Amino acid sequence: MSKSGKEFVMRGDDAIETLLEKAAPRPTPPDKDEKIVRDAVHAEWLAVAGKVKLRQRMTHFAIAATVVLGIAVAFNALQGTAVNAVQIATIGNSHGSIYLLGEQSELRKMTDLESISAEQFIVTGADAGIGLEWGSGGSLRVDKNTRIEFISADSVYLHSGQIYFDVKPSALSASISAGSNEIAALNSVSGFKIETDHGLVRHVGTQFMTLVDADRLSVSVREGEVSVDGVYLEEAVAVAGQQMTLSGRARPSLLDIDKFGEAWNWIEATAPAANINGRSVDEFLTWIGRETGLQISYASLDAKQMAQNGILRGNVDMAPRDELAFRMSGEDLSYRIDGGTIYVTIDSGSRP
């Protein structure tokens, strides 16, 4: 109760307390009824506690299952990556310092690498070069100081540097192509394209060289045609003996160029292997011309006949010009290079 002046005002809770004090004691329920009530309350408690423990067990089980599932998915992903890596090229020859770019942008030096798979990123050093057997006989050469990403069986991304592509193999190279039938089936040389920051390069049956740096994209065509879709340019075409250069928003420039010479010489160091065993000198010279960009000219029909009848043995083990000098030294034919032509004549002291 609370006091206000001389009067006392009874609050609601005080009134209830007073009434309870005056009430008679409640009768005690029989022992039998009390046991029934206690058993019912205990059973309800067990049921509630059991549900809580079940939920806890289910929660722990779900967490464990999630962890196991995550590990399994990660393992399968790693296993799938290793098993399903698509091989798109084999390494015919290489020289110098060559690196694989890792996921953390670290460079790992290549050792005993025999093939290239999709999604690999290759970086070549200042003294390096790679010759790749591509698809059903095509040849891709990678120059020094080049960064190239292998996207798929018919696409690469040239970030910087220089590459050369020859869509069709020579008869000599095709006979010992390192690519298996399975690899050849996976690759579509006819659809080969080169992506760059400046545009997309596609071939139309050709030999061509592509150079990329921070400012420009340059395509030099030795044989066939090349189409270029630039960032600021709709499709443009360059043909054999032309060089197309794109730089920013400027209109592309077209220059007439030689199909041989210093700009092309680097590709000879990574020429594909060739099997000349049982092949004629004439076939060998045709291969030399294709690899060097030089024309073959016979001084007479007799000289050509002699080249067609001459049979060679073994395989090509040196760069094309070195192999030319070595092989021709054993024939009754001589040659000289003048400008863009290899002139072949019969030795003056040779047998009739």
pLDDT confidence of residue 283: 95
pLDDT band at 102 (very low <50, low <70, confident <90, very high): confident
pLDDT confidence of residue 156: 96
Pairing of strands 193-195, 155-166: parallel
User: From CA 59, how far away is CA 177, in angstroms rounded?
Assistant: 59
Long-range contact set of residues 205-209: C-beta below 8 Å, sequence gap at least 24: 205/167, 205/168, 206/165, 206/167, 206/240, 207/164, 207/165, 207/166, 207/167, 207/290, 208/164, 208/165, 209/162, 209/163, 209/164, 209/165, 209/263, 209/264, 209/267
The whole-angstrom distance between residue 235's C-alpha and the CA centroid of its chain comes to 25
CA atoms within 13 A on the CB side of 280: 11
Q: What is the mean pLDDT of residues 108-112?
A: 85
User: From CA 202, how far away is CA 237, in angstroms rounded?
Assistant: 10
Q: For domain 274-346, give its CATH number from 3.65.10.10, 3.10.310.10, 1.20.810.10, 3.55.50.30.
A: 3.55.50.30
Report DSSP letters for 227-253, one per residue: EEEETTEEEEEEETTEEEEE-TTSPPE
DSSP one-letter code for 115: E
Q: What is the mean pLDDT of residues 6-33?
A: 56
Q: What is the mean pLDDT of residues 3-25?
A: 53
CATH 3.40.50.300 assigned to domain 87-267? The reply is no
- Angle formed at CA 128 by CA 124 and CA 133, multiple of 5 degrees: 85
Backbone angles phi and psi of 241, in degrees to 5: 85, 10
pLDDT band at 26 (very low <50, low <70, confident <90, very high): low
CB atoms within 10 A of CB 33: 10
| Top mean-pLDDT range of 74-83, 176-185, 249-258 | 249-258
Q: Decide if 132 contacts 176 (C-beta within 8 A).
A: no
Q: What is the mean pLDDT of residues 247-253?
A: 90
Write down the domain spans for the chain.
Answer: 87-267, 274-346
CB atoms within 10 A of CB 274: 25
pLDDT in tens, 275-308: 899 999 999 999 999 999 999 999 999 999 999 9
Q: Which two tokens stand for residue 109?
A: 């030096």
pLDDT confidence of residue 209: 97
* pLDDT at 86 exceeding the cut of 50: yes
* pLDDT at 142 exceeding the cut of 90: yes
